[in-house]
Every structure is written in structure tokens, then in C-alpha cells.
Amino acid sequence: MKTPLILTIAAAALALSGCGGKTDAPDEPTTVASSETVAPAAAAAPSAMLGSNTIAANIAASPDYKSLAAAVTQAGLTQTLSGAGPFTLFAPNDAGFAQVPPVTRDGWMRPAQKDVLAGVLKYHVVPGKLTAADLAAKITEGGGKAVLKTVDGQDLTATKSGDAILLTSASGNKAAVTQADVGQSNGVIHVIDAVLLPKM
């Protein structure tokens, strides 16, 4: 799985180098145990995340999301992710961002690439609150896959891989949900293990 991810990200890096210039009650963290049941997660909620805070506030406060927090700020999306929503955020943690080659990460953080970075981040956000049970139901209803529309209008495909939910981007790279249903005042976060790449 890592080889296609690295090749996809390398292609994105080459493309970048050519560019010029309603409140819901907090949920307990869960992981998907089967297509119909949800079991409590073994791991605790990501550090410093409170169900009474917005997605933006929790990302900014958590030591597990320094790269994502910096990217949200640089892309100018803090206000959006502080809004009423609700939103479903598939949030790559710092380990997920570490898989992106440094040249690509650094390129995304340049002021000239603000729109590119915003596009990458918006690709991780789906309008509405979709819990792990909701996602599993959609996958079952779709005969093994669910096509989700991100806030920027692109498709993101969810499938099952054993007990885990697997996301496949429009560019073909994949990320697994490693922790689901981290409740936020304006939606829900599902932690993923890689950065998803939209079509640029």
C-alpha cells in the first residue's frame, strides 16, 4: 500500500513544483467491529480533544495534530472548521503527514500554494456528521462501497478492509480509519493514517 502512496505523492510534488507563483452531543471514540456493530475503541480519544470544542479548536490544542493544525491555519480554514457545520473530518495525524515527502509538505506551506493546500484539506471534509455506523451502513447499502462527496465536490470512496474502514482518494491513494467517532461540538473526527490526495 505504501508504494502507490509514495508514487502518487511524488507525482503531486512534481505537479506542485511546476506551479507558479447544529451541536451534537459528544460521542465516545469507537472503531468499526463489523458492518453492523460498533465496539468501543481500545485507545483513548486523541490528546486534548473535548467534545464541547469545535473541530478547529481541538486540532489546534492536540499535540497529535501539529502538522494538520499548521496546514489549516496556512490554508485559511480555521474559521470554516470553527463554524456550526456539522462536518465529518477525516484527520491525518502527524504520523500520516510524515508519510508525505518533505519537499511536498514544504511546497504546500508556501503562500503561493495556499489554494492547493486548501484543496487538499477540503478533500478530507464531508458535509454532515457521519459516524462509523453511518459509514458502515452506507458501505453496505452501496454493495461494498460508499461514494462520499467532500466539501469541494470531489468523490471519496469508503470501503471495508476487514474490520477497518478504508478510504480511497480520487488520485488512488488510500488511508485507513485508525480511530472513529471522536465527537466534536460541530461534527465528528475520524483519525486516518495518511493524507488523501484529491485530483489537482
Q: From residue 185, how far is each of 53, 96, 146, 155, 191 by CA, in Å? A: 5, 24, 25, 25, 16
Which grid cell is 66? 501539529
Q: Model's pTM, two decimal places?
A: 0.74
Q: Which residues contact 32 (CB under 8 A, 6 or more apart)?
A: 38, 132, 133, 135, 136, 160, 163, 164, 165, 177, 180
Question: For residue 19, which phi and psi values (nearest 5 degrees)?
Answer: -75, 140
**Angle at 102 (CA atoms; ends 96, 107), nearest 5 degrees:** 105
Pairing state between β 87-92 and 125-127: antiparallel
pLDDT at 112: 84
Give the start-to-end residue ranges of the domains of the chain.
2-20+29-192
- Does the pLDDT at position 109 exceed 80? yes
**Angle at 103 (CA atoms; ends 153, 154), nearest 5 degrees:** 5
pLDDT at 48: 61
CB 191, CB 182: distance < 8 Å:
yes
Closest of 177, 176, 180, 198 to residue 189, by C-alpha: 180
C-alpha 82/C-alpha 22 separation (Å) is: 12
Give the confidence band of 53 by pLDDT, cuts at 50, 70, 90: confident
- Does the pLDDT at position 60 exceed 60? yes
Provide CATH code, domain 2-20+29-192.
2.30.180.10
Closest of 14, 36, 54 to residue 133, by C-alpha: 36
Mean pLDDT rounded to a whole number for the chain: 77
